[in-house]
Structure 1
Amino acid sequence: ERWGQEVLHCPFCHGWEVRDQHIGILGTSPMSGHQALLFRQWSSNITLFLNDTVEPTEEEWEQLAARGVTVVDGAVARVLNDNDGGRLSGVKLADGHVVSLEALAVGPRFVANTGIFSSLGLTPVQHPMGVGEHLAVDEMGATEVDGVWAAGNVANLMLQVLPAAASGSMSAVAINNHLMAEELQQDLADYRASSNRPSPDSLSSVPARGESRIGAEVS
């Protein structure tokens, strides 16, 4: 019930509002340690709750220590509010220990809306950064099913509005090229089967560099 107020997710969207406060980071994915380092830019009082979910590497432990981030082991059982529903006051661990906080950052899990693709034989996969599920595509948005493209957040959970729109534009170009190639193949087949197809001897030679072929007739 405090989501969007003291319970936040993005240091770029909400960091200024909670600057210099005691900010907790609820471990939800391998990216939670990175999230703690980002919020550290806004406050020197950061606590990362591993929440039986995050297992920092040796390098990450060193980074957290160097930045003065407090790390708390154990699962978080609940979020605490003042006066049963008021402003966030902290979190309670499964062992009963209470940690007071002024803000809590949570990395949500994103699941792309891929329902329409299921009927086409496509199944979402785990995002490589561990933040949710999306469709696997190539650099132009092509999926593993021939003739089906995907763009925007359905194909990359990390995209914001502008790059999502740009990915749609790239996929549109790829789709148009695909359609053009299909039409070309059909026209070539019809052309080769036509009785009016000219023989190689009747075709004009390829013009030299700098010359024009305008006006040449091919029967």
Structure 2
Amino acid sequence: MMQPEFLTFPDPDAVAAEAATRFLNLAEAAIAARGQFVVALAGGSTPERLYKLLATRELDWEKIVVFFSDDRFLSPASRFSNAGLALRLLPLNPKITYPVPAETSLDAAECAVQYERELVAALGPEPRFDLILLGMGDDGHTASLFPGKEALTARKLVTHSTPGVLPPPVDRITFTFLLINAARNVLFLVTGANKKEKVVRWRAGEGSVSTLPVLGVAPTEGTLTVLLDEAAGS
């Protein structure tokens, strides 16, 4: 399994700039090799910086297939929706963009099942993302894989979780480690001094997946890169 590569940059803007460069390079390579770039986007303040940068770059969005590594069980119209953030900022192709189907009559568990069906229908029974973007919370969670939750041990591709520590307190839909670790490339964006203690433990491999979920991210045949700002990584 791939060990994380930790890279530190001066500030969140520099992290976003590096992420944009990597996104662009991976997209061009994937489209050249396989005709499309399959990416899972994330939410939060650092990805927002990234998306604003990507909106200014030359990318073939008609060939970029977009899913979301996790989202709140909310309409994309909500300001808390990861999909809503990306849809507002990026020129995504609606025919190959797949928000979590939270606006249906399904409950969160049924929504996770439906999202996995959509994923398999689009990408095949063993989906492999070219890039999965992730962040880390100050409790060590990633995607919506929170400490101590059942989602940590799910053997599906997509599952649901009860709320974690972040507002609003709504259920979540999330990729599982099974799906994340099949990716060709996993890229973490981690910024802020409140993340520093967990980054230290992550780099040392201290703790368990139950207490520090980021430790569960270990691609079987892919790269794992963690972009840190000075506050999180010094």
TM-score under structure 2 length normalisation: 0.29
Higher helix share: 2
Q: Highest CA radius of gyration, 1 or 2?
A: 1
Of structures 1 and 2, the one with the larger relative CO (CA 8 A, separation 6+) is 2
